[in-house]
């Protein structure tokens, strides 16, 4: 007896988790990084990305049977994401120092047409990160380490928090320049 | 010029933007398509670095040696479970255990690695509990349920200000929640022993009710877990469950705990809690869950040799 049966899960439920779901999950796994990066454009924090992505995934799954051409999954999910981002901003982002909705919507609108470009950006990040000197690469990754805080990192590296912020801005700028130059060669 | 743009955008993503800078960046983004694209690129890098930092291997981190009396790191655990990969390295035995071990040197010190479950006390009331499909990592998935405060119920949370109220699912005998946690960097090479506990209270129940804790381990990466129970069952390397029985009229929180030896190379754990025979929504009886904990007890090498 499998665990689903032991727990009393009706067979119709296990049957419902079917080929369609497998297909959806494969597409989701493939396109999730690009959509997540898109979502990051429109929300204030990395934590918000997780919340919006949850909603995007649920909506996409609910509407998956309406998607006729699966090759357009990434763009289709990006459209869902744009709507969910704006919905999220309306309900949860009012009390923060966020950018104007019109500006974000413009950024999202333009970004919706950049799915392939964003994919290329993501692919280039690792290579550009590797080009940084090891100590800078370590510093940058430590700043993004889960649970990390600039205050703690500054104390540990004996830096002033403001100067650490500036350093991180510079390092991200260098990665951005590197990615742009990589794109220019393609 | 681009440095100024990067600084403004960087401050925005860092959450350090001043009102003046906010005005400046909004003007810039309104007028310049290049700045908007740079914004999107930096957002992509932001997200990429968050993801890349999750793969940041312990060998890459220059962690100072652990002090003799180890205590939890001062880092704030975040929504990313892989915080454990980093945090766990600097977490040692509980103070009492250490003191005991120091006074009795013949007994090996047991190192305990805290597993940072996301929202273990259901304190993040803005985080809804989603449906189980598709599964999403680093948070509770499951059947619909509510986080409630003591003000919503006669029951007081076991800890903190909130707890989870399980809701019945139509045509099903149980309701469940689960959380998928990446522990690839946490599990010692030779495995270890994991404890998983949760507190349960059945308010107003007129018959015995049960809540089941289930723990499953996988050697597969958490990203590979597709949500298919059938597929998951084939991949489970170890599974343990513990039933918590609540007596009719019980008014006390009961804590159920299970222990499981982790197989070598465990990468992913799935923590599940199933409330069986939940009363109908109209009933005054309710099932609450709170204070979920999990930790790995590292088995000393000599224990394996004996």
Give the model confidence (pLDDT) of A114-151 as tens digits.
888 999 999 999 899 988 888 899 899 989 887 778 88
Residue B236 resides in a domain: yes
Do the chains contact at B45 and A166, CB–CB below 8 Å?
no
The whole domain housing A164 covers 115-186
Tell me if B121 sits within 8 A of B148, measured CB to CB: no
Residues A6 and A86 in one domain: yes
Provide the ipTM: 0.87
Residues A96 and A119 in one domain: no
Q: Which of A98, A113, A128 is the last residue of a domain?
A: A113
User: Bridge-partner residues for B293, per DSSP?
Assistant: B197
For residue B261, what pLDDT is reported?
87
Measured in angstroms, the CA of A58 and the nearest CA of chain B are apart by: 7
Do the chains contact at A144 and B230, CB–CB below 8 Å?
no
Q: Is the pLDDT of residue A10 over 80?
A: no
Q: Which of B54, B81, B96 is the last residue of a domain?
A: B54
For residue A16, what pLDDT is reported?
53
Q: Which of A41-45, A68-72, A178-182, B63-67 has the lowest mean pLDDT?
A: B63-67
User: Which residues in chain B (188-247) have CB-CB distances under 8 A to chain A?
Assistant: 212, 214, 223, 226-231, 233, 239
Whose CA is closest to A146, among B116, B137, B82?
A: B82
The whole domain housing B34 covers 2-54
Measured in angstroms, the CA of B82 and the nearest CA of chain A are apart by: 7
C-alpha to C-alpha distance for B13 and B62, rounded to whole angstroms: 26
CATH code for position A66:
1.10.1740
Do the chains contact at A172 and B52, CB–CB below 8 Å?
no
Residues B280 and B149 in one domain: yes
Give the list of residues 6+ apart from residue A142 with CB closer than 8 angstroms, or none: A148, A153, B53, B56, B61
Give the model confidence (pLDDT) of B35-93 as tens digits.
999 999 999 999 999 888 876 654 444 433 333 332 322 223 333 333 333 223 222 32
pLDDT, block means (10 residues), chain B with 306 residues? 80 86 91 94 93 64 35 31 31 30 41 82 65 63 75 78 81 81 79 88 77 89 64 78 79 87 86 81 71 82 43
Do the chains contact at A146 and B229, CB–CB below 8 Å?
no
- pLDDT-derived band at A90 (thresholds 50, 70, 90) equals confident
- pLDDT-derived band at A176 (thresholds 50, 70, 90) equals very high
Whose CA is closest to B163, among B124, B117, B136?
A: B124
Residue among A8, A143, A149 minimizing CB distance to B76: A149
Do the chains contact at B41 and A179, CB–CB below 8 Å?
yes
Residue B134 resides in a domain: no
Measured in angstroms, the CA of A179 and the nearest CA of chain B are apart by: 9
For residue B153, what pLDDT is reported?
67
């Amino acid at each position: 007896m499998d665990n689903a049966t032991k727990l009393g899960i009706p067979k119709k439920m296990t049957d419902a988790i079917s080929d369609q779901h497998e297909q959806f999950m494969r597409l989701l796994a493939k396109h999730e990084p690009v959509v997540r990066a898109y979502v990051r454009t429109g929300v204030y924090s990395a934590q918000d990305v997780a919340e919006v992505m949850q909603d995007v995934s649920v909506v996409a799954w609910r509407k998956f049977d309406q998607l006729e051409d699966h090759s357009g999954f990434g763009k289709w999910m990006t459209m869902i994401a744009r709507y969910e981002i704006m919905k999220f901003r309306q309900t949860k982002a009012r009390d923060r120092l966020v950018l104007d909705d019109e500006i974000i919507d413009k950024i999202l609108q333009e970004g919706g047409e950049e799915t392939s470009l964003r994919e290329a950006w993501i692919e280039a990040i690792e290579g550009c990160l590797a080009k940084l000197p090891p100590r800078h690469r370590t510093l940058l990754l430590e700043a993004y380490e889960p649970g990390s805080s600039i205050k703690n990192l500054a104390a540990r590296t004996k830096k002033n928090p403001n100067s650490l912020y500036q350093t991180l801005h510079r390092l991200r700028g260098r990665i951005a320049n590197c990615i742009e130059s990589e794109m220019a060669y393609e | 010029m681009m440095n100024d743009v990067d600084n403004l955008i960087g401050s925005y993503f860092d959450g350090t933007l001043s009102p003046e800078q906010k005005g400046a960046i909004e003007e810039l983004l309104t007028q310049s398509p290049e700045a908007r694209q740079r914004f999107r690129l930096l957002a992509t890098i932001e997200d990429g670095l968050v993801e890349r930092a999750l793969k940041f291997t312990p060998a890459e981190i220059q962690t100072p040696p652990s002090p003799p009396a180890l205590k939890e790191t001062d880092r704030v655990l975040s929504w990313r479970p892989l915080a454990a990969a980093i945090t766990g390295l600097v977490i040692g035995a509980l103070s009492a255990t250490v003191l005991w071990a120091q006074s009795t040197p013949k007994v090996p010190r047991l190192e305990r690695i805290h597993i940072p479950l996301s929202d273990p006390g259901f304190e993040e009331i803005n985080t809804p509990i989603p449906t189980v499909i598709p599964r999403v990592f680093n948070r509770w998935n499951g059947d619909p349920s509510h986080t409630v405060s003591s003000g919503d119920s006669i029951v007081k949370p076991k800890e903190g200000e909130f707890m989870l109220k399980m809701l019945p699912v139509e045509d099903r005998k149980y309701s469940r929640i689960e959380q998928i946690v990446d522990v690839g960097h946490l599990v010692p090479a030779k495995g270890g022993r994991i404890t998983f506990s949760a507190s349960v209270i059945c308010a107003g129940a007129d018959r015995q009710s049960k809540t089941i804790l289930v723990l499953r381990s996988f050697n597969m990466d958490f990203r590979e877990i597709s949500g298919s129970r059938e597929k998951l069952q084939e991949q489970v390397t170890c599974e343990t469950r513990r039933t918590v029985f609540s007596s009719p009229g019980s008014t006390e929180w009961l804590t159920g705990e299970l222990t499981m030896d982790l197989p070598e190379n465990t990468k992913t754990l799935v923590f599940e809690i199933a409330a069986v025979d939940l009363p109908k929504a109209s009933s005054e009886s309710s099932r609450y869950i709170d204070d979920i904990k999990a930790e790995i007890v590292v088995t000393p090498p000599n224990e394996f040799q004996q």
